[in-house]
Amino acid sequence: MSRTWNQYVVKQENKTLVLTTVMNHTPISRANVAKITGLNKGTVSSLVSELIDEKLVEESGPGKSSGGRRPVMLLFNGNAGYSISIELGVGYILGVITDLNGQIIEQDTIQLQTTHFNTIFPIMINLIKGLMEQVPKSRYGVIGIGVGVPAVVSRDGEILLAPNLNWKNVELKTKLENIFNLPVYIENEANAGAYGEMRYGSSQNSHHTIFASIGIGIGVGMILDGKLYHGLNGFAGELGHMTIEKDGKTCRCGNRGCWELYASEQAVIDMAIKRGLIAADQGEPFEQLIQLANEENQAVIELFEEIATYIAIGLTNCINIFNPEHVIIGNRLMRAKEWIYPTIESYILEHAIGFHQNKLKIDSAKLGVYSTISGMAAFTIEGFLLDQKRNHA
Partner DNA sequence: ATTTGTTTGTCTACCTGTTAAACTAACTCC
Partner DNA sequence: GGAGTTAGTTTAACAGGTAGACAAACAAAT
By the criterion CB under 8 A, which residues form the site for a second copy?
Answer: 1-7, 9-10, 13-14, 17, 20-21, 36-39, 152, 160-161, 207-208, 220, 224-225, 227, 229-239, 241-248, 253-255, 262, 310, 313, 316-317, 320-325, 350-351, 353-354, 357-360
393 lies in the site for DNA, by CB under 7 A: yes
Contact criterion met (CB below 8 Å) for 148 and 192: yes
- Residue 33 CB, nearest approach to a second copy (Å): 11
Contact criterion met (CB below 8 Å) for 18 and 50: no
DSSP track, 209-239: EEEEEESSSEEEEEEETTEE--TTTS-TT-G
- Residue 137 CB, nearest approach to a second copy (Å): 33
66 lies in the site for DNA, by CB under 7 A: yes
- Residue 54 CB, nearest approach to DNA (Å): 15
| Candidates 44-52, 169-177, 188-196, 370-378; binding stretch for DNA (CB under 7 A) | 44-52
- Residue 256 CB, nearest approach to DNA (Å): 57
Q: From CA 23, how far away is CA 347, in angstroms rounded?
A: 39
Q: From CA 25, how far away is CA 33, in angstroms rounded?
A: 9
Q: From CA 213, how far away is CA 197, in angstroms rounded?
A: 12
| Candidates 63-71, 98-106, 139-147, 249-257; binding stretch for DNA (CB under 7 A) | 63-71
Which residues inside 8-37 make contact with DNA, applying CB under 7 A?
Answer: 8, 10-11, 14-15, 29-32
Q: From CA 145, how far away is CA 93, in angstroms rounded?
A: 14
- Which of these, 182, 78, 49, 184, lies nearest to 139 by C-alpha position? 78
67 lies in the site for DNA, by CB under 7 A: yes
Q: Other CB atoms closer than 10 Å to residue 235's CB: what's the count?
A: 14
Nearer to a second copy, 198 or 239 (CB): 239
Q: Select from DNA, a second copy, none the partner in contact with residue 41, using the beta carbon and a kind-dependent cut-off of 5 to 8 Å.
A: DNA
Q: Other CB atoms closer than 10 Å to residue 169's CB: what's the count?
A: 10
What residues are paired with 364 via a beta bridge? 329
- Residue 186 CB, nearest approach to DNA (Å): 34
Q: Select from DNA, a second copy, none the partner in contact with residue 85, using the beta carbon and a kind-dependent cut-off of 5 to 8 Å.
A: none
- Listed as own residue / partner, the contacts of 35-40 with beta carbons closer than 8 Å and 24 or more positions apart are 39/14
37 half-sphere exposure, CB direction, 13 A CA radius: 29
Nearer to a second copy, 121 or 229 (CB): 229
Nearer to a second copy, 113 or 357 (CB): 357
Interface residues with DNA (CB under 7 A) are: 4-8, 10-11, 14-15, 29-32, 38-43, 45-49, 62, 65-73, 393
